[in-house]
Every structure is written in C-alpha cells, then in structure tokens.
Chains A and B, each alone.
Chain A
C-alpha cells in the first residue's frame, strides 16, 4: 500500500476507541434525516421587516438611566404642614358659611381692643380727625373723667418743660 505523504510524520492521529463501531449507523441516521428534511436548515420562522435594525434602539431606551428626581417634600414637617393645610381647606369648603357680621353686632369693647392693640397705625389724633365737631362735643359730654384720672393722664403724656413754657 502506498504511503500517504500528506500526513506529517511527527503527529500521531488518534480516534476514539469506539468511533468506527457505530459510524455506519450514525451516518445512516443523518442520511435519512436529511432525506426527510433536506440539507437546508430552514425553520419557517420569520421576523417583521427591520426588526433587528430597531431592536438595539428599543433596548437603549429601556436601559437609559432615569433622570434624578429631586423631591420637593423631603422632610416630615413639610408633609405635616401640607396635611394641616389640606384639612383647613377641606373644612373651609365643607362648613356652612356664616352670614355677614354687621358692624352693630360687634361689642364696643372688641372694637376698642382692636383699635388699641391691633391697629397700631391709627393714633388718637387720627381717630379724632375722623369725628366732626358735633360728634366730638357729644363725645365730651358722654365721657366723664375723674379729676385724679385727668391729672394722671397729663402727668404721663405731658412734658413739665412744655407746661412751663405755656
């Protein structure tokens, strides 16, 4: 038998021990398989046109890091205040509205207290300027001062030096 000179002499080719035992059987199976299905490995599955062209973009959108959201209401106080405000607003909306308060129904003491404490922009002179001369006379007649009260008032509000000049 002629020697095959194409095989390098320094390489030993080995095959598994049982390789040739079932070779024919394996070959037969492959031949039958290909006879039934053909050599082309077609499956019949299709994909929509351009599917793979757009798939990477679809994944890119889904894996994009979401922009950081800064929470406006970070602390619990903000939540508490917002809650109370909501309750107040709710009560304001559902409670029956009171009828308008007439000026006459307000106690004189309440008006005096308001003018004295809350409305610091109005001085006694401003108030006096709002009255006509007749109203002022009426007021003088209705209000009776004790002498001691008058002396105390003058003592507090009047400078001694001014009195001496007058």
Chain B
C-alpha cells in the first residue's frame, strides 16, 4: 500500500494527463482491496474475483478519459465493479445452464472445499442467508456489512435514498437473523 494518499481531485487530474501510468498505478493501489472484497463477496471464489478485478481496472484504464466527474470516483469504480461481477455471474449461469440462484447455491457449496475460505459453520450459514435475500437487499447488506460503506456513499452508488437504504438494510438484517435462528 502506498504511503501517500492523494486527494481524489488531484488523482483525477493526473489520470486525465498522458501518459498517466503513475497516476493509474496510484488509483489501482488505492482501490484494489476495497474493490476486491466487494467483488469477492459477490463471486465468492478468489480466482474468479481476480479475473473480474483485472477486467474492472482494464475497463477503468480504457475509459478514464471519458469520466466526466458527474459522480465521485469511488462511486464510479464501485458501479463498474458491481456490473462486471454481475456480468460474470450471468455468463457463468448461462454456461452451466442454471438460474442465478442455483449458481449462488453452487458457489456457496464449493466454499467448503475452497482453500481460500477458512470460515466456520456460522460464516457459511451467513452466506446462505444472504443468498436467500432479494438481489437488491443482498447488495445493500454486503456493501454495508462487509465493505463498511456509509449510507451516504451507498446512496450515491445505488442511486437510492438514504432512508430507503436504511430500511432495506434493516429488513435484510432481520431476515438473516431469522434464517440463522431457524436452521
């Protein structure tokens, strides 16, 4: 991790210049971990996460010149990461000719033999509980609970009001608690 954290505006300014190798390298270092975990919680497997994360940064590199700054940089990055992860999951489901839900079941099942998953029984159950939620609630719960994103940032990323997000998170937490109590 780099020692000097430069401001988002300065970084954006540097990214617009050509060549922008060093600015882009700073961008990757500043966001790689946050985006990795965001994607990992969606696709579960490390190798797939690595592929998706690389695609995200390659897309960012290609289109950074077109970023107009209408939204904040991290918002833009999270959106790209979310879209890439969803595209990956849809492709995988099509490839296996199964539904998205069935794919999620399969991905969670494979965690038990995954060398990069050291979770215990309750953590595995938590994954199943999240998977039982509607897609929107899954997304809100993951970003709030695992990524520790504030409601204000979540509001920008999902283009949803803070009130609606708080409500969504509360309902998700309640459903997960019920799920865990009943198994």
Q: Which of A33, A41, A47, A59 contacts B28 (CB 8 A)?
A: A59
* A60–B46 CA distance with the chains assembled, in angstroms: 20
A-side interface residues, number (CB < 8 Å) = 26
Across chains A and B, the number of contacting residue pairs, with CB separation under 8 Å, is 84
> Given the interface contacts A52-B33, A56-B25, A63-B24, does A46 sit within 8 Å of B116 by beta carbon?
yes
> What's the interface size class on B, roughly?
35 or more
Say yes or no: A52-B36 contact (C-beta < 8 A), given A29-B173, A46-B116. yes
A36 touches B57 (CB 8 A): no
A48: interface (CB < 8 Å): yes
A16 and B28 alpha carbons, distance in the complex (Å)? 40
By a CB distance below 8 angstroms, the chain A residues around B146 are: 41, 43
The B contact surface, by secondary structure, is helix
Interface residues in B99-126 by Cβ distance below 8 A to A read 111, 116-120, 122-124, 126
**Shortest distance from the beta carbon of A158 to any chain B beta carbon, whole Å:** 83
Q: What DSSP secondary structure best describes chain A's contact surface?
A: helix
Partner of B58, one of A29, A41, A51, A63: A63
* Nearest CB of chain A from residue B44's CB, rounded to whole Å: 8
A59: chain B residues within 8 A (beta carbon): 24, 28, 54, 57-58, 61
A44-B124, A59-B54 as given contacts; A33 in contact with B117, CB under 8 Å:
no
Chain A residues within an 8 Å CB radius of B44: 45
Is B128 positioned at the interface, with any CB of A under 8 Å from its CB? no
> Given contacts A26-B170, A43-B146, are A32 and B177 in contact (CB under 8 A)?
yes
Within 8 A of B (CB), among A37-69: 37, 41-48, 51-52, 55-56, 58-60, 62-64
* Nearest 6 Cβ contacts at the A-B interface: A44-B119, A44-B123, A63-B61, A56-B28, A46-B116, A29-B174
9 A–B contacts, CB within 8 A, in A order: A32-B181, A42-B119, A43-B119, A45-B41, A45-B117, A46-B116, A51-B50, A55-B36, A60-B25
